Structure 1
Amino acid sequence: MELTRLLTIRLSRFWLLSLMLTLAVGIVFAAMAYSQLTYRFQQHNIAAIEQAFSRHVLRQDMDDANLWLPDLLKATDTLQARVWNGQELVYEYTSAEQAELPRVIDIQLPQQPNLRVQLLMPQPLWRYLPNRYEVGVLLLGLLCFVVITRRGYLWYREQLVGLESIGERCHLILKGRFEQARGRYSNGHPRFINRAISLLLDELVEAKKDRARFDTFIRSNTFLDHETHIGNRLFFDSRLDALSSHSGMMSHGVLMLLEFDELDQLHSELGDHGIKEYLTLNVEHMRRLLQSQANSVFARRSYSQFAILVTQISLAEAEQLASRLVKLCASLAPPDSKANQSLCHLGCAYFKLGDEQQQLIEEAEMALRAAQMQGNNNWFMYDKGAVDEEFARGSVRWRTFLEMALTDKRFVAFAQPVIDVDGIVQQREIFTRAREPNGNLVRATLFLPMAIKCGLIAPIEQLIVEKVIQQLLVASHGDEQFSVNLSFETLMNNDFFRWLKRIMLEHRDLMPRLSVEVDEAFACRELAALSPRLQSIKMMGARIAVDHVGQELVSTQYIVEAGFNIVKLHRSLVKQIHLRPENQLYIRSLLGSLPLAEISVVAEGVELLEEWQTLKILGVGAAQGALFSEPVAVE
């Protein structure tokens, strides 16, 4: 807005300069007119003297000139007069007044060529200067002019300040910063324009809220089960696809299929309303039970079957979870029902890195049938021998491993580029892997959940952030940008955040090249706690990004409220998107609810050219994934 303010100042100065120039021109013309008036008045006096001499010369009464000439000369302000007849001085008059640089006037009488009159008269302008009264009136008029001009200037400046405020608001609107423009209301003139803009911005905010609710409704109807308000089969399949690649599952965990075998009988006993309340009650209790599992997916696969997918969970924890789920569902059975003893069964299939997705589903279905064959309310785990021992040991080994890795700084940074539609690298996202003593690398999906449980996540991520800022940003050429992922536990750690602010202040010039990513699951649920810390990061110059967007069925309003600069779509939305119209509808609705002028949208996990082409058609501006490059070590 410096240009608008500069134009306002220049316009005000031009107005004042024009007014002063007009005054100066008026004063010059007035002085010239006054000078001409005094000159003509003196010329009129000279003409009167010449006429008097002509009359007396014709009557031959120059001998008595002392009788009539002094009064005439005094009346015409003559300082000195001399009458020459040839070379003879016949008359001389001298006034008592004196003047500097008097004016000499020679009069030649045509009746008497030998007779010549010489007059000394004061300069007309200085002779007729204004007196004190006239000067006072002139100064009073000039003072009135200055006061009126001052008041006019203040009024004019006030009007321009109002226009400047309107210009700032319009500039913000053109840049898409509607909330800032809405908060810039002023009482400047013209006020009706300000009120009109404010009214339109208020209606725009309401329209955007309605649009956000509508987009949420669209996305919810795409992936939401209307009866239980959890994910449907499409939602579950997309999340399962996101956890797998061409080489199999990308993490370890457990898949559970929970079947309510006597749901039809319960429906006949309870009716439509009763069965809906029963399912809602079971879903709510199961969701509470799964809240302790940060990486869980809960969805309804069919009328009577529910699917639960939990990653980064040990075998012992999976068995405990399965037992608690079956006991929970059995305890919620209607007391008078005949199907209480064989109401629900649970089949579990534990998977590890590289397992096939279709095989996993088949194993879970086989485990469910085995649980149903056992009768009563029961659960069954398929093929326990397929589980690696390290997943069944618990957290003691992990704590020892992570503490030793921290001491020896055996955490390796990997970078994956983010490519825009022009093929240019926008930034590089940093991933972390831990190096074992034998040289093998452990993925973050394996050790991060255990690091959170052991309370070691903050020092691990601090080590990575320090490496990115002090090594990668300093050593990188040009304007290369990097992004790092920070967990909710790390950001809420006071010691870590104080250290983060200190190191960001020390390298303030590098912060525009750094982005901090947080997971959507925490960004939408813990926005009130996260927002102050995210804003502090933005104030330091860094950008903030929200990761895994679309994994949660929530409104996108939190993205605008938190002021995120980058939105990263979850890989479950991206995988096979060219074959999934429901995912395309979801992304199109998501993009429509975001101010794309301020927010960059990035797709994660792009593996096929068809996926990237479809994303570009939908309006996604950048992507990362195996199609462009796998993560590369940056040691």
Structure 2
Amino acid sequence: MRETRPFGQTLLLLGSMTLLLSMLLPWWASYNSLEQQVTNINHHLAQIIEAPSSSLPLFNIAELSSGRPIETQSQAWWFGQAAANHQYTLDNTPIFYRLDITTATRQWAQVSLPLVLLTLLIFTFLYWRWRKTQRSQDHYFHTLLHAPEQAQPNSKHPIEQGIVELYRHYHGQLDNLQLQLEKAQYQSHQDSLTDLGNRFAFRRDLNLILDDENQLATTTLMMVRASALQEINTEHGFQAGDQYLQDIVKLVRKTIQSELGATAYRVSGTDIAVLMKGQCEPISKQLGTLLTQELHHYQHVHHLSCAAYIGFTQLLSGQAAEQGLIRADLALAQAQGGEPNSWSMVLKQGDSENLGESQWRQRLQSMLTEQRILLQVQPVKVYKQEMLGYNEIFTRFPNEEGGTYQAGTVFAMLQRLNMSMLFEQKIIEMILQQVQHHVLSQQRWAINLTPASLQQNSFLIWLERILMRDRDISAKLVFELDEQVLQHQLVAGKRLLEMIRRSGARFAVSRFGHGYGSFRLLKEIKPDYVKLDGLLVRQIQEDSTTLQFIRMIVDLAQRLGCFVIAEGVETEQQKDLLESMHIDGVQGYLIAKPCDINNFKI
């Protein structure tokens, strides 16, 4: 708009000049007329003096005086010297006269006033038209600034072209900035290694789910913990660790591809979270089984002690995000307390499970320091004389309310807080003290080992040192480990078995009988005791195949020199069927319930 301002200034300047000329030109004509009259009077002054006074107006003389100046002064200052008193010398006599300027003034006014009015009208109209055009143009350009798409096509106006070019440039910059912003936002919510969403994207989507007003909508949270990452980083380097994480992510993606809308995130160095719509129980059974199989295969191919663990929980709208995360973490910890690559599901939380990590750590540390750990015993009914009494020891953890914590929750939190080894050492030390001073000397005492014990070389070294101190006490001990744990950590299991036998203790495989792979395991390690899984015992009456399978286990184990004990016997019919197979011992609520070790008597 600045380019149009000089035209307005020029118009004002031209109008002023025209207005001035319309006044000056008539004035100049009247002034020249007066000057000509002065010249004419000077030429004819002698005749004028001799003429009568009545003839003076003919020469346009207002006053005439000979020898004496005219006292009155003209007031017509606009004609200057022409309207003033004139002096002329004739024959050494000074002659004074003054012109009559009334006619000249009237002529000037009659010509200049119409010209001035006409000039004012013309330039006022021109200026008004220019201002109107200017306002219209300003309004158009102002509109164009806000809506450049309304620009006239093929316009050659420089300002309009400038606005359109500016708009295009500005719009291009905005598009570029928007793309960069979207890219930056995407990158800020993406994990660079796995191309999954990161923890910020996870918390964003988690909060959206929990803030959903649909109270009936349910979402399943699956957490996968790549537990072998630290081991791989230490032994093979960080590049191998990165490849391991990418492989686990591929297995997770392969498993969840059937779940529409399932989204995976990497929420920490080792944890991968998956959010998917649907009820937790059916999803966890399906995906947990599939992913566990994939992880077992990956573990076998890459010779790992464990590939990963899986935890499931249910999310409901209106819940706090921290509650869901605590349940998922607890499910992971429970899975880590079981066999390698296993999965666990936690749907509800008790009051103790709502405790934060710092509170759990304080309570567990206090429990460890004060030895507030209860030992309970459940005996086995033995049928063969050559078999010493067998008593399995369980641990219970009292709480501040006079009850006990759930053992699974405590072991899960120990695993989560990396305190499993400390508690396992304390429990074994307490059991050794009880066995040493117990009146039942001709008995064997079974101690359950957690899966984490196989992964702790320092624990195995400590355990061997403890057992070697008193071989008489060690000879009374039986260490139990689940079959599924041994199936997937066979090398570490054999190392543990060799150490136990060197110390004079015995070894038992618990929860035995998950499939025909059990026979291969039986041949590989030849344990001292085989404890049938309680699930098989419960099915013995309804399923003839299970009955035949148990017969095969009993026959093969006894041929290999193993004692066979059935767990979970609760009915007389189960007991009678097992006795008919010539089983070595039975254990369960039908035989005896667990009791305090201090009060235990046979």
Decide: shared fold, TM above 0.5. Answer: no
TM range (shorter): 0.3 to 0.5
Higher relative contact order at CA 8 Å, sep ≥6: structure 1 or structure 2? 1
User: TM-score, with normalisation over the residues of structure 2?
Assistant: 0.43
The structure having more radius of gyration, on CA atoms, is: 2
